[in-house]
Amino acid sequence: MPRPAFKNWITHVQTARTEQLLKYAAQSEVISFAGGLPAEELFPAAELEEAFQTVITEQAAEALQYTWAEGCERLREHIVAQMKERGLNVTAQNIIVTSGAQQGLDLLAKLFLSRGDPMLIESPTYVPAIQAFEMHAPQFLPVARDSKGIDIDALRRGLLQRDPRLFYLIPAGHNPTGSVLTREQQRELLAATSGTHVQIIEDAAYADIQLDDNSARSNPLLPVELSRILYLGSFSKVLSPGLRVGWIAASPEVIRQLALIKQASDLQTSTLNQLVLARYFDSNALKDQIARCVPFYRQRRDVMLESLAAEFPSEARWTKPAAGFSVWVELPQNCDTEDLLTQAVGRGVAFEPGRPFFVTQKPRNYLRLSYSNLPPEHIRSGVRRLGEVLKRAVSQSKV
């Protein structure tokens, strides 16, 4: 049979071998730090059950019917209230409900990117965002990001030399480093981009998972006029990724265009799930839910950091995440984390090799460890096993 002619398809993120190992790790006894899933213990199952029942009992005709591409009015009003708490004054005209923040990335890429367009993007960054943009073959202008913040000179250079229209940024809860830009860095970044044509896609998926300092939560890059910001929100991290509900906040003009693209893509996000969430928010349960999540993930992060300090080779460096679900680890340059994954899985532990998180130059000596979905005793024993593998690899690399 001839191969089907796939149009414009993206390259694979992981090598086939890595994909196979991570799939195996997820289904076996292997302790897997890959994936970065929320903890199931925190899903508000009882509250959502009640909300589902009420919606089906009282609003079945509406809940089981089609709705507008922009989303249900009731949920959009709740999102408006939540955005106000985060420091942004918006109305429902500024909001479109999406099937997770991931669809937000896809819709924005479809609206703004054509082949060869220069776009600024942090490197490393969230891999499925790279995938969503890559479908449109832009020219990536990487802006290095590490635990200390972004490379502001690279940002200025990119703005000056290529006049890009988009900058994808995760100011707080950066995936994979877990870092949060300080107020000073945010001001510097906004000053650098002011007066240019660039719009900032501000990915706030982890805005509510601030593990150290909650004050950053109220003000990611805001308040800045929505003409410069395309804001992405998500209910996946504090409530449930299975509901697939997120949103974009942008100017009404952008929202109208996005609604057309969304219509072509999936018509709308599940009416039932939107109304269930609106009902859940009616009960004011979100604040308590966030208050449950933060210390829970903080404890796991702390166990991870203590274990790394005790078990990892002294040549390794890692971030101390202030938000989000993962730690980003750097090994000596001649260590290849894709090769090391085979050995690690043999020892009963898995991680995410770091190469796909970079957009252009792709170093092989990084890896991501997620602590969000593992109980403390598994974090400890997983880090112990991985520490043994890495110590051996580092000592062999010196020979």
Ligand X SMILES: Cc1ncc(COP(=O)(O)O)c(C=O)c1O
Q: State the residues that interact with ligand X by CB under 6 A.
A: 36, 100-102, 126, 170, 175, 203, 205, 234, 236, 241, 246
Please report how close the Cβ of residue 372 comes to ligand X at its closest, in angstroms. 10
Q: Which is nearer to ligand X, 112 or 325 (CB)?
A: 325
* Shortest separation between residue 163's beta carbon and ligand X, angstroms: 26
Q: Which is nearer to ligand X, 134 or 306 (CB)?
A: 134
Nearer to ligand X, 59 or 102 (CB): 102
The smaller minimum CB distance to ligand X, of residues 69 and 207, is found at 207
Beta-sheet pairing, 229-234 with 199-203: parallel
CB of 237 to ligand X, least distance (A): 7
Residue with nearest beta carbon to ligand X = 100
Render the burial of 289-309: b for 16+ CB within 10 Å, e for the rest. bbeebbeebeebbebbbebbe
The least distance separating ligand X from the CB of residue 253, rounded to whole angstroms, comes to 24
| Sequence-ordered strand ranges (E) for the chain | 31-32, 95-98, 118-123, 139-146, 149-150, 166-169, 199-203, 229-234, 246-249, 317-318, 326-330, 349-350, 352-353, 366-370
Cα dihedral sign for 208, 212, 215, 220?
negative
Nearest distance from C-beta of residue 324 to ligand X, angstroms? 7
Q: Rg (Cα) of the chain, in Å, rounded?
A: 21
Q: Which of 96, 121, 23, 41 is nearest to 252 (CA)?
A: 96
CB of 102 to ligand X, least distance (A): 3
User: Please, which residue, 170 or 394, has the CB nearer to ligand X?
Assistant: 170
Q: Is 338 exposed, middle or buried (0-12, 13-18, 19+ CB in 10 A)?
A: middle
Residue among 186 and 240 whose Cβ is closer to ligand X: 240
Query: Is the backbone peptide bond immediately before 124 cis, with ω within 30 degrees of 0?
Result: yes
